[in-house]
């Protein structure tokens, strides 16, 4: 029992010793049994003997561990504590451990140095690869710039027989654009800029689907780099925009309601107080309860601009000459707060239904819808009878190719000229309706969704020459100024106040806006509603003929008229019966218009047209005058030489 107690007490007494030893040799590893054996064995023995003794001792330890008690082992350990501590204090084992540590440390240092060398080698290899790749890229660019050549006629003929290779066309377009951007250094020897431009036109037409006329006009209007940006912008859709109807709600309230319905939107821009742009919508934006209630109108951002330029005031009389489907008309009504009077005219009867339905949906109550040809509106509403006119003229639609890609191939020079002729007639009618003496108005806004110069600047320049108007700023802080000169055309300098909008610059449809101020109700040159040809005919006799010539030329058509017609005309104009005094045709027109108003009968218009001399007669008179002048000069020379 006592032995058992002693054995049981021994571990209790040994614990502080173990703690002390662990405290003394904290940073050092406790030697194993095998290391102790190797320390006790002398150096004279061979390695084999050391191994044998170590194995024997280990076998003995195993037997002890198997059959002995744990207390015996602890006793042995306690007995061995003193010499072990002495050995460590003497430093004999430390030297060996240092040697082993130095060898292991040198091995780790060598490993670290190997890893560093490998990482350096990898970094150097990567750097070399990057340098090689950069050099190869530069070489490829140089080779491409040097090797690019315009295709020959044979190659072009072979391409026409095969289906179009879009990848090849795209690469060639990029190469031509790159060469034209730095033409002096990259051009092919002997090749002119015109040849590159012609090839670019052909490739753009084939790749993007434009006809020869339209792509030629665009190439003439824009630099090559900007042209590519414009054409790429035409291939992408414009953002969806909505306009808040201020007659029904406010923009902030509308945005909150639509965002709750899952519509992702934001304010359009700083220049618009009612516009919102829609990025994404989980519901159809044209079928929400708010849309049906008239809280907003789906409208392109470019359509805001003409109404903002018009800036209608309350209690004014305003005319929208081409109103359908009603986006601009409802905006005008909202700005006027349903006061005053709006005449919404539309020539196509089929579009009147959409116009009236939108007016009712948006809560507009101050608008009269009419169905007339815009050129006849001065006869219907009266001249000098309204304060402002908005003319969003029918055009070729070359600014909205994104919405209607058929414009790429359907438009030609004849279409542009027909549109321009109609637009000139419409703008003269619009100017005639506006009252120059209006206290708050006297303005005309002309806009098109076209990019063609004949439909925009040329029309405004025509109006400046035919009526007493001037171009004033549109009130829009952004936009590109209109052309003053384009190729061989020269326009009035005030056309800088007009504004052009492009898809690649302003991210909206191509648009043109001009604002005119009517200075007086008098006309510079009397013009009929038939167009510019009549204008030229009425002006030529004034410039060329004297009063006596007019009398002689008008005698023959007057004789052909009946005596009854002669008496009526003489009585109306207050002329004597001998017919010595004859007024010029413009004066007759002005007096008759003042008496019978704007409506003219066909018979009287035919008679007046007969009075005008034809072009052949005018040319004959010119030749006679030239001959007379030559004869006078000849006589004067002979007289001088005779003296």
The answer to whether 327 is a known ligand-binding residue is: yes
**What is the Cα–Cα distance from 337 to 409, expressed in whole angstroms?**
43
The answer to whether 323 is a known ligand-binding residue is: yes
Residue partners of 10: CB distance under 8 A and separation at least 6: 71, 74, 75, 78
- Residue tagged active-site, from 395, 449, 474, 480: 449
Q: Does 449 qualify as catalytic in the annotation?
A: yes
The answer to whether 16 is a known ligand-binding residue is: no
**What is the Cα–Cα distance from 74 to 82, expressed in whole angstroms?**
14
**What is the Cα–Cα distance from 633 to 164, expressed in whole angstroms?**
69
The answer to whether 387 is a known ligand-binding residue is: no
Strand pairing category for 499-501 and 511-523: antiparallel
The answer to whether 95 is a known ligand-binding residue is: no
**What is the Cα–Cα distance from 461 to 458, expressed in whole angstroms?**
5
**What is the Cα–Cα distance from 273 to 235, expressed in whole angstroms?**
29
**What is the Cα–Cα distance from 206 to 163, expressed in whole angstroms?**
11
**What is the Cα–Cα distance from 111 to 108, expressed in whole angstroms?**
5
Which long-range CB contacts under 8 A does 179-185 form with residues at least 24 apart?
Answer: 179/145, 179/148, 180/224, 181/224, 181/225
Render 297-325 in DSSP notation, one character per residue.
EE--GGGHHHHHHH---TT-EEEESS-TT
Judge contact between 396 and 451, C-beta under 8 A: no
The answer to whether 346 is a known ligand-binding residue is: yes
Residue partners of 267: CB distance under 8 A and separation at least 6: 251, 255, 275, 276, 277
**Residue of 518, 400, 394, 511 lying closest to 467 (CA atoms):** 518
Angle at 30 between CA 24 and CA 36, to 5 degrees: 120
The answer to whether 289 is a known ligand-binding residue is: no
Residues in the chain: 643
The torsion angles phi and psi of 445, rounded to 5 degrees, stand at -110, 125
Residues forming the active site: 449
Binding positions for S-adenosyl-L-methionine are: 322-328, 346, 373, 392
């Amino acid at each position: 029992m006592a032995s058992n107690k002693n054995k049981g007490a021994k571990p209790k007494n040994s614990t502080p010793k173990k703690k002390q030893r662990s405290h003394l040799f904290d940073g050092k590893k406790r030697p194993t049994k095998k290391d102790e054996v190797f320390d006790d064995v002398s150096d004279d023995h061979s390695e084999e003997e050391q191994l044998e003794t170590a194995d024997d001792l280990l076998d003995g330890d195993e037997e002890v561990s198997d059959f002995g008690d744990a207390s015996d082992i602890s006793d042995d350990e306690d007995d061995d504590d003193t010499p072990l501590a002495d050995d460590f204090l003497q430093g004999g084992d430390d030297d060996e451990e240092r040697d082993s540590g130095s060898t292991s440390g040198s091995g780790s240092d060598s490993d670290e140095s190997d890893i560093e060398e490998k990482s350096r080698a990898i970094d150097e290899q990567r750097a070399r690869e990057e340098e090689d790749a950069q050099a190869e890229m530069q070489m490829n660019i140089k080779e491409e710039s040097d090797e690019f050549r315009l295709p020959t006629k044979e190659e072009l003929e072979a391409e026409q027989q095969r289906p179009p290779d879009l990848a090849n066309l795209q690469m060639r377009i990029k190469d031509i654009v790159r060469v034209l951007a730095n033409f002096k250094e990259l051009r092919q020897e002997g090749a002119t800029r015109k040849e590159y431009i012609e090839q670019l036109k052909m490739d753009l037409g084939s790749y993007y689907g434009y006809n020869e006329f339209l792509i030629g006009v665009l190439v003439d209007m824009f630099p090559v780099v900007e042209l590519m940006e414009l054409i790429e912008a035409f291939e992408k859709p414009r953002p969806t925009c909505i306009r808040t109807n201020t007659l029904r709600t406010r923009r902030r309230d509308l945005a909150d309601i639509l965002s709750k319905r899952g519509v992702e939107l934001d304010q359009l821009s700083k220049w618009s107080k009612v516009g919102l742009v829609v990025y994404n919508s989980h519901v159809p934006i044209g079928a929400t309860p708010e849309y049906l209630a008239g809280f907003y109108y789906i409208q392109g951002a470019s359509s805001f601009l003409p109404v903002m330029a018009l800036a209608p005031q309350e209690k004014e009389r305003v005319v929208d000459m081409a109103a359908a489907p009603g986006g601009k008309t409802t905006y005008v009504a909202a700005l006027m707060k349903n006061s005053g009077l709006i005449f919404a005219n539309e020539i196509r009867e089929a579009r009147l239904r959409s116009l009236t339905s939108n007016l009712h949906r948006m809560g507009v109550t101050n608008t009269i819808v009419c169905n007339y040809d815009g050129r006849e509106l001065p006869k219907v509403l009266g001249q000098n009878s309204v304060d402002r006119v908005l003319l969003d003229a029918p055009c070729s639609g070359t600014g909205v190719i994104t919405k209607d890609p058929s414009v790429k191939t359907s438009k030609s020079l004849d279409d542009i000229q027909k549109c321009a002729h109609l637009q000139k007639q419409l703008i003269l009618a619009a100017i005639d309706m506006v009252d120059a003496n209006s206290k708050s108005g006297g303005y005309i806004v002309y806009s098109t969704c076209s990019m063609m110069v004949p439909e925009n600047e040329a029309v405004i320049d025509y109006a400046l020459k035919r009526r007493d108007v001037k171009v004033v700023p549109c009130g829009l802080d952004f936009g590109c100024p209109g052309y003053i000169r384009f190729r061989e055309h020269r326009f009035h300098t005030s056309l800088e106040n007009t504004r052009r909008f492009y898809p690649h610059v302003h991210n909206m449809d191509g648009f043109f806006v001009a604002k005119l101020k009517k200075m007086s109700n008098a006309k510079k040159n009397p013009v009929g509603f038939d167009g510019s040809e009549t204008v030229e005919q009425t002006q030529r006799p004034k410039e060329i003929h004297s009063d006596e010539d007019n009398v002689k030329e008008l005698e023959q058509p007057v004789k052909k008229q009946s005596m009854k017609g002669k008496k009526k005309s003489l009585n109306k104009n207050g002329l004597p019966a001998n017919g010595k005094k004859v007024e010029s045709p413009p004066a007759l027109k002005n007096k008759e218009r003042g008496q019978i108003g704007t409506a003219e009968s066909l018979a009287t218009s035919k008679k007046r047209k007969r009075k005008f001399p034809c072009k052949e007669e005018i040319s004959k008179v010119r030749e006679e005058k030239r001959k007379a002048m030559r004869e006078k000069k000849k006589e004067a020379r002979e007289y001088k030489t005779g003296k």
